[in-house]
Amino acid sequence: METIRLGKSQMEAPHLALGCMRMDGLSTKAAAGIISQAMDAGINFFDHADIYGGGASEEIFAEAVKESGAKREEMTLQTKCGIRDGYFDFSKEHILNSVEGSLQRLNTDYIDILLLHRPDTLMEPEEVADAFTRLKESGKVRHFGVSNHNPMQVELLKKYVDQELIVNQLQFGIMHTVMLDAGLNVNMQHEPAVNRDDSVLEYSRLNEMTIQAWSPFQHEKTKEVFVGNDKFPELNAKLSELAETYGVNESAIATAWILRHPAKMQAVVGTMNTERLKAIAEASGVALSREEWYAVYRAAGNVLP
Ligand SMILES: NC(=O)c1ccc[n+]([C@@H]2O[C@H](COP(=O)([O-])OP(=O)(O)OC[C@H]3O[C@@H](n4cnc5c(N)ncnc54)[C@H](OP(=O)(O)O)[C@@H]3O)[C@@H](O)[C@H]2O)c1
């Protein structure tokens, strides 16, 4: 598994992270199986949030780590805070409480990376700054980042927060390309030209923030998995053709498409199926050509100007 440098930090992270959002649906034994498979494939990076399974995903993960024999110091644990029941909360009190809860549930002394999950428009950035400093100085959190933030929201945080924001986790995949569509359709009248994210892709590259692509196999509008889905015949034909060329499966090609972007993103995959994870991990060794990359983009229904 190849690695990337996360933001301006010295942290090396694998091309793929395992998203643990659906881990609450697993037995401890099954969760231990997927963790072991991930570690065997070089995916030692696990993405959590305080709210996944209402906290149960973090708990089952910790139980499963014990059962799998995996070593905490060989893993990177990332979690998120800031989403509550019906509202967002970046208050100092909530951030600190949320981290305490995650530390307990994950059965660990420290979190490697803490992300603010979704922008809270009622945020007081001074409170976030206070919370981050407390967490950093106490050793409870080593690195910080955000999720679903646009560039100006990141800038607002950066004005107050002392720590480097190394990651922005955003939805991205072949059928959710909002962050690059406008950049391919500059100064045009049609729908894809609408800049919906304040150029977060270019901003992240300019400022060396790593984009983590969440839900990489999801179709934007229907929320269905597009791989192997009859509703998207042209895309699946292209994925199958490339799968044949590279000797991997279609999900690996869909992942390789994300990794091919020079922004050097990390893909956060959510499968809880060991065989599927093993196959997807092969994406790390696939380097799609420029022509292949654009052919996949077009096969997903996008028209180049
Ligand atoms: N920051 C945010 O706001 C945010 C939001 C959502 C998610 N996330 C993170 O992103 C991670 C991934 O999200 P996700 O689970 O929605 O993304 P995903 O990796 O796109 O989808 C995985 C789901 O698709 C299913 N699937 C069916 N066929 C598949 C195929 N051929 N290839 C791959 N998967 C297939 C998997 O089922 P099986 O388990 O049966 O394989 C699993 O339920 C989450 O775990 C979480 O960590 C972050």
Assigned domain for 119 exists: yes
Query: For position 168, what pLDDT does the model report?
Result: 98
Tell whether 70 is covered by a domain. Answer: yes
Residue of the CA atom closest to atom 10 of ligand 1: 214
Cα(188) to ligand 1 centroid in Å equals 33
Atom of ligand 1 nearest to the CA of 22: 45
d(CA 15, CA 1): 7
Per-residue pLDDT tens digits for 165-224: 999 999 999 999 999 999 999 999 999 999 999 999 999 999 999 999 999 999 988 999
Helix (H, G, I), strand (E, B) or coil at 225: strand
Nearest CA to ligand 1 atom 27: 225
Residue (of 296, 249, 301) closest to 275 by Cα position? 249
Distance CA 52, CA 146 (A): 17
CA distance 29 to 67: 7
Q: Quick check: is 33 in a domain?
A: yes
Secondary structure letter of residue 270 according to DSSP: -
Q: Is 110 considered catalytic here?
A: no
The pTM (predicted TM-score) of the whole model is 0.98
In a domain, 56, yes or no: yes
For residue 79, give its domain range.
12-170
As for how many domains the chain has, the answer is 1
Q: Is residue 244 part of a domain?
A: no
From residue 277, alpha-carbon distances to 42, 112, 198, 222, 226 in Å are 11, 23, 33, 23, 17
Would residue 50 count as lying in a domain? yes
Q: Is 217 in the pocket of ligand 1 (CB under 6 A)?
A: yes
Cα separations (Å) of 93 from 53, 97, 139, 194? 22, 6, 18, 37
Quick one: CA dihedral 142, 199, 197, 13, positive or negative?
negative
Q: Count CB neighbours of 290 within 10 A.
A: 8
As a whole number, the mean pLDDT across the chain is 97
CATH of the domain at 51: 3.20.20.100
pLDDT digits (tens, 9 = 90+) for 52-91: 999 999 999 999 999 999 999 999 999 999 999 999 999 9
Mutate which of 78, 269, 274, 282 for ligand 1 pocket (most atoms within 8 A of beta carbon)? 269
Report if residue 81 sits inside a domain: yes
By the 8 A CB rule, do 66 and 305 touch?
no
Tell me, using a 6 A CB cutoff, whether residue 170 lines ligand 1: no
Ligand 1 centroid to Cα of residue 164, in Å, is: 28
Q: What is the pLDDT of residues 112-126, one digit of tens each?
A: 999 999 999 999 999
Establish if 28 belongs to a structural domain: yes
